Structure 1
Amino acid sequence: MSEAIRTAEGPGAGSDEPGPSRRRALRRVLVGLGVLGLVLALVVGGALWFLTDRYAGNVDRVAGVFTELDDEARPAPATPAQQAAEQPVTFLLVGSDTRGTAEQGIAAGGRSDAIMIARLSGDRQHAQLISLPRDSWVDVPGYGRNKINAAYAYGGPPLLIRTVEQLTGVRIDHYVAIDFAGLIQVTDDLGGVDVVVAETTSWGPYTFPAGVNHLDGDRARWYLGQRYGLPGGDFDRVRRQQQYLQSVFTQLFSSDTFTDPGRLDAALLAVTSAVAVDEQLGNAEMLSLAYSLRGLRPEAVDFFTAPTLGTGTEGAASVVYLDGVSADRMWAYLGSDSLSQHAEEFGRQALPAVPR
């Protein structure tokens, strides 16, 4: 082949090597894809940062909740069989209706208005919430027999966790302090919530007639605060707390909320500003946990009250006696992540469809 022919064909002619123009075009495409990928990464990362900062970052932290606990004396964490799948997560929820105390993790006066165990199943398809009556007569480590919320008064979250773990044999993974007064703001942000009342009652400035009641924030505050005038007293108050949480959860998952970004944003901000969690639950873990619960629906959440034998007095104190036999079965199911499969055994302790 002559030199002229080779020059006319150009370098690389007749071979599989791309020419300079094709190489430049390929580089431009690759650079463009790289820039697009970087932009997408920044957008996704920025969105995650925004969500983490706006919602998880809005949650206060309670310091020193678990640092004082002797890990060897605590119930064991999830078994190896459970660890093969996603582990269940157990929270201890402590509620106060006194605004402004949630960030300390202790209610004003050192007493809790609500004590609940919340368990998220390993498959994240079920959850259980079990209320422990605040007057439950239990053994408080280092203080002998006393009401369970006395543990809260004597030693704050660490002693309450020790007391609950000793009572149930279930390890508490995280601690949540709920300011019910702040949480009630969620009611207004959601446009109100519906509750069903069995019998007409009155408390404060409001009457709650039998049937469906649409509660705004102020009505919800009085509805949750009523104890006197209810046949079951504090037991009925506990059921109303559970009913309210169930209604809020249902409303959060309603199509109206998810199709109204402004309402959803306001509700999430109100929820996160009304709770404080232990400092071991970081923002990234909180966001990851929330994402893992994306398939959980309100109907898959069971509400119970710990089994009881009735009320009585110890000295001058009015107390609640727990049913040790039934409670031990409940704690065993809870610890093995199987309470949802045995929920029918605890029908008497379950939240009724229409609380009083």
Structure 2
Amino acid sequence: MFLLGAGLVLALLAAGALFAVTQQFSDRMHRYEGVFNIDPSTRPVQGEGQTFLLVGTDTRSPDPTTGTEATASDWVPGMQRSDVIMLVNVSDDGSHASVVSIPRDSWVPIPGRGMNKINAAYSFGGPSLLVQTVESLTRVRVDHFAVIDFAGFAQMTDAAGGIDVNVGQATNFDGVAVPAGPQHLDGVHALSYVRERKSLPGGDFDRVRRQQNALRALASSATSSGTLASPTRAYGLADSLSTWVGVDDTFSASDLRSFVWGLRDLRASNIDFLTAPATGTGMEGAASVVYLDADRANELWFAMNTDAVPTWVASHPSAALPAVPR
């Protein structure tokens, strides 16, 4: 989402408004405090590029879709889990980026809590514990934390004029039907598309790919010539982003300006979308879980740390997001 936001804000550069615009949007963003109050000795060393841990939740939605406390403005202990977990790494020169989804049911060690699904870390200890869990798992240092609300995803999709996706399998989520084939989706239908999993053969794996496909389409739409040529539309999109995205309290307005400027040449075609390698699924007690493939995953995390994801993808072409996921 920050890749998308950078493209939107850059559309306003023609008016020379980078400072004012980023300051305004930074001031409006919700701040999560104390995310990085973590013992430095437990954290990985700094790798190449800049890495964000992006989480998707319903915690700021007006509709309580992930529990009775989902309308809270911030994390509520024990009441919320992160339905989307993505590591986003941007190269130092801003020429390419990688987005790696970690399935929410991945069975992993959570510091101080033992083995559990990775999304339980957010429920147990909020953003800070999730950062610690992801860093311990991947040995990739997280520079910043961001949360995107699902309701905001729908609004941003509408603000961008919709997204174009090729739907691999027709689905119907909560009464909203999405036909198979090439589709232009508005916010409501895009939200249905990214939230469905029960009717898909790959379950949550397919849903992860749909989430990535929607982000790829949204980034493509946001950075299209039509959007960039319209400061009014670009401003509206960036304004929506600032309303529905929360960031850690160390991400300042000057950080946002530097980040945005560094992405001025990034295009959607230079973003790799991947999923953490897994060996399959199984049961841990009554819970259905995903078992990650430690060897293959470690190769990917090393590539992310060394600015070598494009090379890794070239050697593992089947790992890349397909053009038409289910």
TM-score, L = length of structure 2: 0.88
Q: Report the residue type matching 1:212 in the other structure.
A: P
1:258-277 deviation per Cα after TM superposition (whole angstroms, max 9, x unaligned):
12222111111111211111
Who is 2:54 aligned against?
93
Pick one of 150, 154, 157 that aligns with 2:127: 157
Deviation, 1:98, is 4.2
Q: Does 1:200 align with 2:170?
A: yes
Pick one of 180, 190, 214 that aligns with 2:184: 214
C-alpha distance in 2 between matches for 1:59 and 1:202: 33
Q: Answer 1 or 2: higher relative contact order, Cα 8 Å, separation at least 6.
A: 2
Deviation, 1:325, is 0.8
Who is 1:74 aligned against?
43
Who is 1:278 aligned against?
248
What secondary structure sits across from 1:55 in the alignment?
helix
Gap change, CA 1:150 and 1:339, over 3 Å in 2: same
CA contact (8 A) 1:102 1:178 kept: no
C-alpha distance in 2 between matches for 1:102 and 1:125: 37
Who is 1:82 aligned against?
none
CA contact (8 A) 2:171 2:196 kept: no
Most deviating of 299-308 and 69-78? 69-78
CA contact (8 A) 1:105 1:276 kept: no
CA contact (8 A) 2:77 2:124 kept: no
Who is 2:294 aligned against?
324
Pick one of 255, 258, 264 that aligns with 2:225: 255
Deviation, 1:103, is 5.3
What secondary structure sits across from 1:247 in the alignment?
helix
Who is 1:288 aligned against?
258
Deviation, 1:107, is 9.6
Who is 1:137 aligned against?
107
Aligned-residue RMSD, C-alpha: 2.0
Structure 2 segments unaligned to the other structure (5+ residues): 1-13, 62-70
Who is 2:200 aligned against?
230
CA contact (8 A) 1:188 1:216 kept: yes
Deviation, 1:174, is 0.5
Deviation, 1:58, is 2.3
Q: Report the residue type matching 2:203 in the other structure.
A: G
C-alpha distance in 1 between matches for 2:269 and 2:115: 37
Q: Report the residue type matching 2:177 in the other structure.
A: T
What secondary structure sits across from 2:99 in the alignment?
strand
Deviation, 1:91, is 0.6
Q: Report the residue type matching 1:283 in the other structure.
A: A
TM-score, L = length of structure 1: 0.81
Who is 2:7 aligned against?
none
Over 3 Å off, 4+ runs:
46-49, 97-103, 105-108
Deviation, 1:108, is 8.7
CA contact (8 A) 1:62 1:103 kept: no
- Greater C-alpha radius of gyration: 1
1:103-162 deviation per Cα after TM superposition (whole angstroms, max 9, x unaligned):
525799221110000000112101000000000001111111111011111111111111
Gap change, CA 1:102 and 1:277, over 3 Å in 2: farther
CA contact (8 A) 1:106 1:177 kept: no
C-alpha distance in 1 between matches for 2:187 and 2:290: 30
Deviation, 1:204, is 3.1
Who is 1:19 aligned against?
none
